[in-house]
Chains A and B, each alone.
Chain A
Amino acid sequence: MKPGLPLLWRRTKERYNLIGSKCESCGTHYMPGRAVCPKCRRKGKLVEHKFSGKGRIYSYTVVRVAPEGYEYFVPYVLAIINLDEGAKITGQIVDADPDKIEVGQKVEMVFRKIHEDNPEGLITYGFKFKLAD
């Protein structure tokens, strides 16, 4: 399902720069950001946090039948990344041979095109990951 323009725009910052939140009470990081820390509840104090973009592959899958808008990319790797700060997020692993992906590999954030509506539509940019050098 495609989010509407206002939501896309509001999330530009977090999508471009991997900005989530951190609870200053217990030190837990969240991506996407949260308004309330589920561990501390009312005692939690959440602040904006810019992630370093470095992490490791926690789990992955190779997509061979793409959803609409991603047809050109097949086969591609979709992974759950364990960010160094502790939060987990889902992202595409780019410029990689699907046969050579392994759990635990180091990755780093890159800025790429996420989605193009159609030749006349909006281009959505944001973070993806590549294997670290």
Chain B
Amino acid sequence: MSCVGIAGYGVSIPSYRIKAGEIARVWGEEEGRIVKGLGLSEKSVPGLDEDAATLAVDAARRAVSHAGIDPYDIKSMFIGSESHPYAVKPTATIVAEAIGATPNLFAADYEFACKAGTAGVINTYALIKSGEIDYGMGIGADTSQGRPGDALEYSAGAGAAAFLLGRKDVIANIEGIYSYATDTPDFWRREHAIYPSHGGRFTGPPGYFKHVIGGAKGIMEKMGTKPRDYAYAVFHQPNGKFPRTVAKKLGFTAEQIEPGLITPYIGNTYSAATLIGLAAVLDAAKPGDAILVASFGSGAGSDAFHIEASDLIDERRNAYPVRRIIENKRYIDYGTYAKHRRKLVL
């Protein structure tokens, strides 16, 4: 049986941006300290009529057109998010309906902080690998919020990435998967709470670093590979700093990780962050390039992938490359931002 791979992908990022300096101005913080401390200078902000479902639909439609398949052949739909529009009522059915994949498919929502998107991709991979279905879609989509004035307000962005997996005509093969999870209280949001709570500095070492390193080392051990065997590495990117630090700890170079570092320009897109990084790398990858991917979700866990670009990647380039989507932007001030995020009550 042939390998399971990526038949197409799509990314969606809202066009609104707010600069870190504009948020800092409102809270009397020093712009330079924030930009240096978080390694990001601006973030994406959803429009008033955008949410995780609309971004997911946009990304999913792009993935279907990239793959060039009949959407009716998609037999599973998983969406990971920590900002599903409804507490009860699936996002996956909205997206499946909007791309024309209903009614003969399996649809479900996932929730696992920032790794819910890769959780969906892993389950899509499993269904196809088992021979149960030929095509399935895994999506990470979020429009997350940070409490006004909290450090998270500078980084919580919005975006979605959809990966359409299959066996035929893939642009990249998923050669192996590995996951790592423990019960770690680094970040949480209770039901009915608008903003999340987090463990401050505690989120770093026992949360992000321990799990991303666990996932990345695990996949390399399983595949018998070393950092130098990869053309690219993509790590979850809650800010611009953590992925650069974890890459160094693991022995990856700046050349391997910079092409997949997108958070510095759009903020942390949570469930979409790792997948948008992977999409950016696939936009540039050449046939035979190996890519290591390790996501992270608080609470906590990491899903890791070993992916290899196929010979088809050159002739099947995406019509909406990530770096071009990022350039389509318009800046808003803090007042407009507060209106967009409904921090103002009418």
**Could you tell me which A residues sit within 8 Å of B by CB distance?**
12-13, 16-17, 71-73, 92, 94-95, 110-114, 123, 125, 128, 133
Pick the residue among A13, A71, A125, A128 that contacts B94 (CB under 8 A). Answer: A125
State in angstroms the CA–CA spacing of A73 and B49 once bound together: 9
How distant is the Cα of A128 from the Cα of B54 in the complex, in angstroms?
A: 11
Residues of B within 8 A of A16 (CB): 97-98
A128 touches B328 (CB 8 A): no
Contact call B47/A125, Cβ cutoff below 8 A: no
Query: Do A94 and B47 touch (CB < 8 A)?
Result: yes
Cβ contact within 8 Å between B53 and A125: yes
* Complexed CA–CA distance, A21 and B48 (Å): 31
Q: With an 8 A cutoff between CB atoms, is B201 at the interface?
A: no
Interface, chain B (partner A; CB < 8 A) = 15-16, 47-51, 53-54, 57-58, 61, 85-86, 94, 97-98, 100, 328, 330, 339, 342, 346
Q: How far is the CA of A112 from the CA of B12 in the complex (A)?
A: 13
Known: A17-B98, A72-B339. A113 touches B328 (CB 8 A): no
Q: B98, A111: Cβ atoms under 8 Å?
A: yes
**Are A112 and B86 in contact, CB atoms less than 8 angstroms apart?**
no
Contact B85 A95 (CB under 8 A): no
Q: A72's contact among B57, B328, B346, by CB below 8 Å, is which?
A: B346
Measured CA separation A73–B340 after assembly (Å): 9
Nearest neighbor of A95 in chain B, beta-carbon distance: B15
Within the complex, the shortest CB–CB distance from B62 to chain A, in Å, comes to: 12
Report yes or no: A111 in contact with B339, Cβ–Cβ below 8 A: no
Q: Do B47 and A112 touch (CB < 8 A)?
A: yes
Q: What separation, in Å, do the CA atoms of A16 and B58 have in the docked complex?
A: 12
- With A111-B58, A112-B54, A114-B49 known as contacts, the answer to whether A71 contacts B346 (CB < 8 A) is yes
